[in-house]
Structure 1
């Protein structure tokens, strides 16, 4: 599986492919899932946005039986253009079991460098069965609060707006716990008012044309949308778990072992 938008720099994509192949060869791992994260996958890139490739890797089965586990992260050199690193399958499964929204988001990226759909669908199925809505909701609530507390700028506002849109998506999809990754889809599936949808898409278009948005003031319409969503999302702060921790760990173990077999 591969999903590369035409707007991505083909030379950069070629280098990412080269790095992924190098990781697989040098570390003797398989990479069943490699995607773009960051602003490009979130749906609001700037002309000078870097590339944030993230991947899940799987070692040969016998290396998971060692008394001295290997490091569960593989990184490649970081520079102004490339940020390419990945997590071991075991780390990814553990984080999903803990309700880590970042690990879940990787499975919903609209930009895929290389991927096995069956692998992705298996992890998504596991997430659907074990992820707590309360954990996901708290994650987005805390991210939005943290970003909102920093120096105000239109650029930073996107990092408030996306988690607020994710909280809206959770609100209107009460039976689901795995939101889409990108802001446009969150807005389109979030049943927001037309004036909010228009303001979001106008702001995205502005960011796509501007290298540095500066310290401008976010539209009042969107500030009000964010405030309302964060206020309603406070219910996640004390949301009780829906599943027993032992059951979650057992389902995560079952998935992990079945894949290694």
Structure 2
């Protein structure tokens, strides 16, 4: 599976492909899933946005039986253009079992450099089995609150708007704990009003052609949307009772991980 929009720089994509090949060769691992994260995958890139490639990798089965396991992260050199690193499958599965929203977002990125679709679907089914909606909603609620405490700018506002849209999506889809990754899809698949979606589209279009959006005030319709969703989302803080499924979830994650190693 490969999904690369035409807006991505082909020479940069080629370098990312080479880095992924290099990781497999140098570390003796297999990469079944490599995607773009960050503002490009979130649906609001700037002209100078860097490339945030994230990948999941699998080691040979024997490596997981070692008494001296290796690091569960592989990183490549970081610079102004490239931010390419990944997680061992074991780390990713543990994080999914804990309801880590970042791990789930990687599985739903609209930009895929390389991917085994069947692998992605199996991992999504695991997430659907074990992830608690309250943990995901609480994550987005706290991200939005944290981003609001920093220096105000139109650029930073996107980092408040997207989690607020994720909260709206979760409220509209009570059967799922796995919201889409990108802002336009979150709004399109929710009950957000047309004027909210249109205001977001206009702001995204401005960001796409402007290196720095500056410290202007976001559209009032979007400010109201964010405020309403964060107020509504406070219920997730109030519903913070510890889960009684921990042992069940861990057993399910172990079972899935062992089965996945057998597939590889």
**Shorter-normalised TM range:** over 0.9
TM-score for the superposition, normalised by structure 2: 0.97
| Equivalences for residues 36-185 of structure 1 within 5 A | 36-185=36-185
Structure 1 SS opposite 2:4: coil
Maintained 8 Å contact 1:132/1:241: no
Report how many aligned residue pairs link the two structures.
261
| Equivalences for residues 231-250 of structure 1 within 5 A | 231-239=231-239, 240=241, 244-250=245-251
TM-score for the superposition, normalised by structure 1: 0.99
Distance, in Å, in 2 between the alignment partners of 1:157 and 1:104 is 23
TM-fit CA distance, 1:119: 0.5
TM-fit CA distance, 1:260: 1.0
Structure 2 SS opposite 1:34: strand
TM-fit CA distance, 1:241: 5.5
Matched residue, 2:260: 259
Matched residue, 2:8: 8
1:222–1:169 distance in 2 versus 1, CA, 3 Å: same
Which stretch of the first structure deviates more once superposed, 237-246 or 147-156?
237-246
Q: Tell me whether 1:220 sits opposite 2:220 in the alignment.
A: yes
Which runs of 4 or more aligned residues in structure 1 lie more than 2 Å from their structure 2 counterparts after TM superposition? 238-243
| Equivalences for residues 181-192 of structure 1 within 5 A | 181-192=181-192
TM-fit CA distance, 1:190: 1.1
Distance, in Å, in 2 between the alignment partners of 1:115 and 1:249 is 26
Matched residue, 2:205: 205
TM-fit CA distance, 1:238: 3.4
Distance, in Å, in 1 between the alignment partners of 2:256 and 2:244 is 17
Distance, in Å, in 2 between the alignment partners of 1:181 and 1:247 is 27
Distance, in Å, in 2 between the alignment partners of 1:189 and 1:243 is 31
Per-residue CA deviations over 1:11-35 (Å, capped at 9, x if unaligned) read 0000000000000000000000000
Q: Which runs of 5+ in 2 are unaligned?
A: none
Distance, in Å, in 2 between the alignment partners of 1:26 and 1:142 is 38
Distance, in Å, in 1 between the alignment partners of 2:191 and 2:148 is 23
Structure 1 SS opposite 2:162: helix
Structure 1 SS opposite 2:74: strand
TM-fit CA distance, 1:69: 1.2
TM-fit CA distance, 1:95: 0.2
Structure 2 SS opposite 1:174: coil
TM-fit CA distance, 1:145: 0.3
Matched residue, 1:29: 29
